Amino acid sequence: MSRSSRISIFLEMMSAERGASQNTLEAYERDLERFEDFLSSARKDLTVVEASDIRTYLADLTAEGLSARTQARHLSSLKQFYLFLMEEGIRQDNPVAEIGTPRMAQSLPKFLSIEDTDALLKAAQENQTDEGLRLCALIELLYATGMRVSELVSLKISQTQRDPRILTVMGKGNKERLVPLSPRAREALDRYLLVCDNFLPNSEQDKIKDTGWVFPSRGKNGYLTRHRVGQLLKELAIESGVMPSKVSPHVLRHAFATHLLENGADLRSVQKMLGHSDISTTQIYTHVLQERLQQLVFEKHPLSSKS
């Protein structure tokens, strides 16, 4: 069996048995093919790799200027691949097991202020064309639910129709979660759904085929791309007077979480709405809680300097 065939079978397993998303599968494929190319220069096979080979590979990534976070992702891909080879009986050990994850500096997520977010929302509401209604629905849903942009663009109409107060989101690993939907976001969505068919391809054959996507397009997947959503938000930022460099779909997800915590939401609830499987992932937002608690003590404690 060829080396590339082993990668293909691994990807098939991750998709069929573990429900890995298309984005995750593509990331695994890129990482493993890059490692395979690295090994080819040393005339080594994927199945006979030693820990020393992986350390050399990580050093190579460092020399190319890749961040510790990117190196950690590569290492995670290799770990999953060699676990698969062990399960298949191709290897007796995992050469990645004894290698520590590169240390990463803890960086706080970027997020928009409430004022900047309001400016974006107001600018989106002013455009009453079909494109404007779509953009308004996109940004209202992103900010109201904290969805990942990949979850947003692949949203199906059936996911919006179970309960007007709730949106059903299909997250990583095909895990379904329910997120409350504000009346304002629901109104923006309903107004857009009246015209969403106008974004279907013009050919009669495609019109007959009902895709069911909330945000259909002419792309190969049949729905709006993540890249295009990012472009639309940058254009909206310019119109609203917000720095385009500050705006992206992921920044709106961070704004959702941060603004909730600033206004009293608890971390567990935010974790569920974001679709984080581990609370440690959500804890990047604890700086918001710490600032709010400090302000609370300063303003409310009887012995504070303010009192």
Give catalytic status of residue 254 as yes or no: no
Spatial distance between the Cα atoms of 91 and 46, rounded to a whole number of angstroms: 10
The phi, psi pair for 233, rounded to 5°, reads -70, -35
| Predicted TM-score (pTM) of this structure | 0.61
Out of 28, 57, 223, 285, pick the active-site residue.
285
Quote the pLDDT of residue 120.
92
Quote the pLDDT of residue 190.
93
Give catalytic status of residue 287 as yes or no: no
Confidence band, pLDDT 50/70/90 cuts, at residue 110: low
Please give the radius of gyration of the chain, using alpha carbons only, rounded to the nearest integer.
23
Give catalytic status of residue 34 as yes or no: no
Give catalytic status of residue 285 as yes or no: yes
Spatial distance between the Cα atoms of 61 and 68, rounded to a whole number of angstroms: 9
Q: What is the pLDDT of residues 69-105, one digit of tens each?
A: 788 888 889 999 999 988 888 888 888 887 877 665 5
Q: What is the pLDDT of residues 129-150, one digit of tens each?
A: 999 999 999 999 999 988 899 8
| Total Cβ atoms within 10 A of residue 13 | 15
Give catalytic status of residue 172 as yes or no: yes
